[in-house]
Structure 1
Amino acid sequence: MARYADDLALAHLLADTADSISMARFRALDLHVESKPDLTPVSDADTAVEKAIRATLARTRPRDGVLGEEFGASEAAAGPGIRQWVVDPIDGTKNFVRGVPIWATLIALMEGDQPVVGLVSAPALGRRWWAAVGHGAYAGRHTAAATPIRTSAVRRLGDASFCYSSLSGWEENGRLDSMLNIMRQSWRTRAYGDFYGYMLLAEGAVDVMVEPELSLWDVAALIPIVTEAGGRFSDLAGRSGPGGGSAVATNGPLHEDILLRLTP
């Protein structure tokens, strides 16, 4: 715990800054939204949050690299053995611009290719989740109101709550039939999407969360929270870590079954 205590405290400080900026722009009548080359939206809140986080990291962790969704990687982030902060300033921008309160700032610290600290702050929901390797996973409004969180003990798909982001990506990668079969056999299915399904998984409220296509900033902060809560996190090929470009997150006992069922 002591090894990452300062980093986790800094992540909370960064999240406090992000929350103040994003909440001031949430549902603002003059919110400015543009489309990126991949046709996904970016708001002035996204860019303002990432700039503020980068400015703080430049002062407090000048030797660490930074990778963010909106402004890419810093030069320091390219060196071998460099610690790298990975930031998604607003995960769930489509929700943000439509006034849906399910969005969050995602902050992770990676050592090598493994995330060791993760924090997810959803100020419109009044909730935050965080974890560090060896520290455990917690949720609450802030550190003074923290509660340890743990994944469920469900072992059968027929008893499981199955969560996903959308079906279109699964159709594109040829696994739509597999997804539909899982959904038919699950006790309950819901498409919470983005970060939220993973946090519900870490809390034991759902048992599986899957996504077919993700970037590093989408998952780096989620992995320590899920795994420190007792769950498993891999890509569709079963490889652990954030580099696979897809995600299968489970409570643990269901993991191998879900991987097998998602194999075309």
Structure 2
Amino acid sequence: MTARLRTDVAHNARVWNYWLGGKDNYPVDRAVGDHVTGLYPSIGEVARADRAFLGRSVTYLAGEAGIRQFLDVGTGLPTADNTHEVAQRIAPDARVVYVDNDPVVLAHARALLTGSPEGATEYVDADAHRPEEIVAAMTGTLDPSRPVAVMMLGILNFVLDTDRARTIVRTLMDAVPPGSHLVLTHPTLELGGEGNAEAMAFWNENAEPPITARSRAEFASFLDGLEILEPGIVSCARWRADGTERAVAQFGAVARKP
């Protein structure tokens, strides 16, 4: 069941939208977003770097890697260059399933996330904490016998227990065949992000859902059993970028299921 829309408590999807310059947010989201920015001024840069990483990774997957199916878990509010737009620009027959459980995201996704006639773009109302439901729902649009790119950008940080987060990743990756890829980003207190600790504490007291940072070793554990592509685990701002980007405190990686 979709959660009731609340406009009295800041929500990640809407605050993230605010940091990206969008208009799909409420006063409480802007207030919390501004306070977090005051505590951690580079948060907007992190949001933009994460979005740019999505574009580069999907461009690689739909192009060089030949992936034609994408499962985007934790979609967030639509903005420029969403997963299906990037993928279908390269491969019009690409099929994309978005997954989220926020009612505002649901409403916008159904209205805006429409893809090419040759491909398919669908939305699944499901919680990342219940990956079995995601697997069951995605098979209506995606062919589980063909490789799938599982996109989990900035979503595992809302799964506070690391063992449970690993189980979620394993469940999703066990459901897709060899040749599939996992695309991850995750906030960290490393990479110059030590100042984010106070901002995260404020967030957890004033917004939902609660969030956690993780170390490089914890992030790497989500990729166990997969082949991590070059350049490995890096700041998402620097994954296959032009070399001029400033690192942000957000790990990024793409890995292939052998």
**Which is bigger in relative contact order (C-alpha 8 A, separation at least 6)?**
2
TM-score for the superposition, normalised by structure 2: 0.28
TM-score for the superposition, normalised by structure 1: 0.28
